[in-house]
Structure 1
Amino acid sequence: NRTTPIVVAIVAANGLLMPKTSSRAITSPAGTADTMEAMTPVALSFDAMQSVVKEQGACLAWGGSVSLSPTDDLIIRVERALDLDSEGQLVASVISKKVAAGSKQVLIDIPVGPTAKVRSQTMAQTLRSLLEKTGQALGLDVRTVISDGSQPVGRGIGPALEARDVLQVLRNDGHAPQDLREKSLQLAGILLEMAGKVADGQGYELAQSTLLSGAAMQKFEAICQAQGGFHEPQMAEFRHCVRAEKKGVVSYFNNRFLAKLASLAGAPNAKAAGIELHVASGDVIDCGAPLFTLYAEAPGELAYALEFLDGHTDVIRIEEEVV
């Protein structure tokens, strides 16, 4: 969901239709719809969504508001309540919405990591096969990218913090998270090639030039305005910085613990709640260096997150530096 707004903006800026509907978070601190809602309205009617796509060539809307797949929406409510996230339902959820939206080419990113939703290459290959074969049976050109999910992409975890990352990339901000920028360009490049906008191998270059020229940001703002207006994501008032207790090399991120912390802090319902990461894998740090900052909209929610942290210290692992 961090890459989606950037990819949509780049693809639409090149004149291609990309009606993107997304879900809210099921078990994570932010779905794409939650992140977008920190910047623009996403609960569009079907007629409103059609109008936005006709005007701008793309939208970034919440799928639940247009009932593209009403049965899936009901199942998601049950999954959220029971904290379930099954493989079969994931495939059905993704493909049903793409078919209902009238998509022809579909690109799906599958992050793999020890604490990611997909934990092994074997699981990823199985999911890839299910997605591609199901899509093919329904007339879709589905391609999948298996990527590194050992740590979060970008710095933010939570709607507003992820939205801030998105805007930094689109604005070519020097402080933008480079991993998010790079992954977005790669995905956008593949879509540009799939749609026949450029020859194979030339998509990345076109995506990069679209971003650097400012055309992607201009298109993103235009989409937001068409959906009801653009506003900057708000940052939460209550914060706590977690620091390293020893020096060494950052070697491991527990994505599930990070997601739990962000959720306890209030995400995704509290849009400004979540986590801002200050380190990445491989960073050499000193004792006392900031690892991440917790954000909450209320002191009680911050306290809940800190209480969880007291019993789960291995959120980010630091190992001794080998000289």
Structure 2
Amino acid sequence: MGAGHPLTLKWLGIDTYQEAVIYLHRDCEVCRSEGFEAQARVRVEAAGGQIVATLNVVDSDILAPCEAGLSVVAWRQLRVADGDTVRVSAEPPLDSLVALRGKIYGRRLDAAAMRAIVDDIAAGRYANIYLAAFVAACAGGRLDVDETVALTRAMVDAGQRLDWGRAPIADKHCVGGLPGNRTTPIVVAIATAAGLTMPKTSSRAITSPAGTADTMETMAPVELDLPAIRRVVEREGGCVVWGGAVGLSPADDMLIRVERPLGLDSEGQLVASVLSKKVAAGATHALIDIPVGPTAKVRSPQAAALLMTLLEHVAATLGLSTRIVLSDGAQPVGRGVGPALEARDVLAVLRREAGAPADLAERALMLSGALLEFCGAAAEGTGIATARGLLDSGRAWRKFLAIADAQGGFREPPRAAHVRVVDAPCAGRVGAIDNRLVSRIAKLAGAPRDAAAGLELFVKVGDRVDAGAPLYALHAESPGELDYAFDYVAAHPETVVVLPA
């Protein structure tokens, strides 16, 4: 190890989510000699490597002056054990913060400034407060087209990049905002059954109750390294894995950790996030689904047109072929909202069960058909029929099982310990289902942290219901979470609106 003050590590078991934090006693030699104060950024070196961490100062006897504690994520990053020695030293000031401050005051970021910021983010040099400042400074349409291109390119260059040595390499993405819209595992199964190569790297939830990686993880392992991903794809033609485990766009993974609690997913950063992951994964053809609806992420045809134009322009600049699909985002898709509940819907469609949600099946077939035609695996106008044949014959289900087995083994999704049903207040017709409220309730019930938690819908817009008929059910792992979510339900009857007969 290099220079710095040696300290003995003590396990504290403090979870700070994904922020690396080091804990030092106020009388520690490091704090006294360096003049460190709480929230200072310091370099921490161990035999297994080095990280940049945020300093928290301790006044109690939980730590001796000669000891140091680390947050759980920092402990894992350094691969240390209780009693190991670490060295702590000052971290030099970040020049890229000058550019960030300029952006906060309305100045544009040129390509060099954007690259400097992204490189520092990817290297873990930005504390959460800096990450939050960058996200906020770029939100609300504050990134122009050139800045979005620069951000996307910098994100790609900051991480690893896959090259499959052939084309087409297919990918598919939904911009989100539509609960239960878990078509990706079905599309991957159909596309690879048709002979396409589709190495799908997916995100965990940002502002939603479940991401594709969260849902897939209830059925098979998703935290594969790059050699494992290559083995799966060479063996089965595709995969569905968590992109954050392989560092394909590490700066994006850092930004996601603050976008989630802030509830922000701005247009420019959305485009950069989506496209950087596609390019880094080696995709040549990406199908992008934009659901449009009054309570979806994209709420109007005008907003959808602007997003589509930006996606197509940035993708073309980076050499990625795209096909955009504008879809109905008026209400949730399928029945389940939450990782395991959505996985059960996916399995019902792939297994061709009699009660499988028809809207999820038809949406997945529409997207699969478009992808097959886009990548030349089906003639124009025949994609949906080809996809339906692969689903109905069982070939897609067998391919999904093979992919899950190659990733580490298939398993059935878990079920929640506690369920409570919400009934219709009167007889009538379902007039509206609010996507945002459905997502909010599912998260309050524990999703995606608790894989089995979430919300299960029993109705669709237009359905007729009797008084007291079940509208939806809350699923939770503890009675307290169930009660907490139900209190929110009671205060928001507009979640599912029943128009009296």
TM-score tier by shorter-chain length is over 0.9
1:67 aligns with 2:247: yes
CA distance in structure 1 between the aligned counterparts of 2:249 and 2:480, rounded to whole angstroms? 37
Compute the displacement of 1:10 (Å): 0.2
The aligned residue for residue 195 of structure 1 is: 375
Amino acid aligned to 1:24: R
The aligned residue for residue 500 of structure 2 is: 320
| Structural mapping, 1:239-254, within 5 Å | 239-254=419-434
CA distance in structure 2 between the aligned counterparts of 1:81 and 1:159, rounded to whole angstroms? 19
SS at match of 1:294: strand
Cα displacement string for residues 58-78 of structure 1 (whole angstroms, at most 9, x for unaligned residues): 000000001110111111111
Aligned mate of 2:316, from 125, 136, 151 = 136
The aligned residue for residue 96 of structure 1 is: 276
CA distance in structure 2 between the aligned counterparts of 1:60 and 1:190, rounded to whole angstroms? 19
Compute the displacement of 1:161 (Å): 0.4
| Structural mapping, 1:1-323, within 5 Å | 2-321=182-501
Amino acid aligned to 1:238: H
Cα displacement string for residues 260-299 of structure 1 (whole angstroms, at most 9, x for unaligned residues): 1100100001000001100001101111010001000111
CA distance in structure 2 between the aligned counterparts of 1:308 and 1:4, rounded to whole angstroms? 30
Amino acid aligned to 1:168: A
Compute the displacement of 1:320 (Å): 3.1
CA distance in structure 2 between the aligned counterparts of 1:147 and 1:128, rounded to whole angstroms? 12
Cα displacement string for residues 52-103 of structure 1 (whole angstroms, at most 9, x for unaligned residues): 1111100000000011101111111111122211111110000000000110
CA distance in structure 2 between the aligned counterparts of 1:214 and 1:104, rounded to whole angstroms? 28
Compute the displacement of 1:196 (Å): 0.8
Q: Structure 2: which 5+ residue stretches go unaligned?
A: 1-180
The aligned residue for residue 153 of structure 2 is: none
SS at match of 1:176: coil
CA distance in structure 2 between the aligned counterparts of 1:116 and 1:24, rounded to whole angstroms? 19
CA distance in structure 2 between the aligned counterparts of 1:49 and 1:299, rounded to whole angstroms? 39
CA distance in structure 2 between the aligned counterparts of 1:316 and 1:81, rounded to whole angstroms? 26
CA distance in structure 1 between the aligned counterparts of 2:272 and 2:287, rounded to whole angstroms? 15
Compute the displacement of 1:136 (Å): 1.0
CA distance in structure 2 between the aligned counterparts of 1:82 and 1:117, rounded to whole angstroms? 15
CA distance in structure 1 between the aligned counterparts of 2:322 and 2:423, rounded to whole angstroms? 43
CA distance in structure 1 between the aligned counterparts of 2:230 and 2:254, rounded to whole angstroms? 23
Cα displacement string for residues 163-211 of structure 1 (whole angstroms, at most 9, x for unaligned residues): 0000000001010000000010010011111111121001111100000
SS at match of 1:153: coil
CA distance in structure 1 between the aligned counterparts of 2:498 and 2:304, rounded to whole angstroms? 28
SS at match of 2:264: coil
Which stretch of the first structure deviates more once superposed, 304-313 or 30-39? 304-313
The CA RMSD measured in Å over matched residues stands at 0.8
Moved over 4 A (4+): none
CA distance in structure 2 between the aligned counterparts of 1:78 and 1:274, rounded to whole angstroms? 22
SS at match of 1:21: strand
- Could you tell me the TM-score, scaled by structure 1's length? 0.98
CA distance in structure 2 between the aligned counterparts of 1:148 and 1:320, rounded to whole angstroms? 25
Cα displacement string for residues 6-33 of structure 1 (whole angstroms, at most 9, x for unaligned residues): 0000000011100000000001000000
SS at match of 2:414: coil
CA distance in structure 2 between the aligned counterparts of 1:166 and 1:300, rounded to whole angstroms? 29
Paired positions, count: 321
CA distance in structure 1 between the aligned counterparts of 2:310 and 2:253, rounded to whole angstroms? 21
CA distance in structure 1 between the aligned counterparts of 2:245 and 2:405, rounded to whole angstroms? 18
SS at match of 2:493: coil
CA distance in structure 2 between the aligned counterparts of 1:250 and 1:58, rounded to whole angstroms? 40
CA distance in structure 2 between the aligned counterparts of 1:286 and 1:91, rounded to whole angstroms? 44
SS at match of 1:61: strand
SS at match of 2:459: coil
SS at match of 1:191: helix
Q: Structure 1: which 5+ residue stretches go unaligned?
A: none
Cα displacement string for residues 94-149 of structure 1 (whole angstroms, at most 9, x for unaligned residues): 00000001101100111111111111111111111111111111111111111111
- Could you tell me the TM-score, scaled by structure 2's length? 0.63
CA distance in structure 2 between the aligned counterparts of 1:110 and 1:185, rounded to whole angstroms? 16
CA distance in structure 1 between the aligned counterparts of 2:264 and 2:384, rounded to whole angstroms? 36
Amino acid aligned to 2:260: R
CA distance in structure 1 between the aligned counterparts of 2:447 and 2:260, rounded to whole angstroms? 14
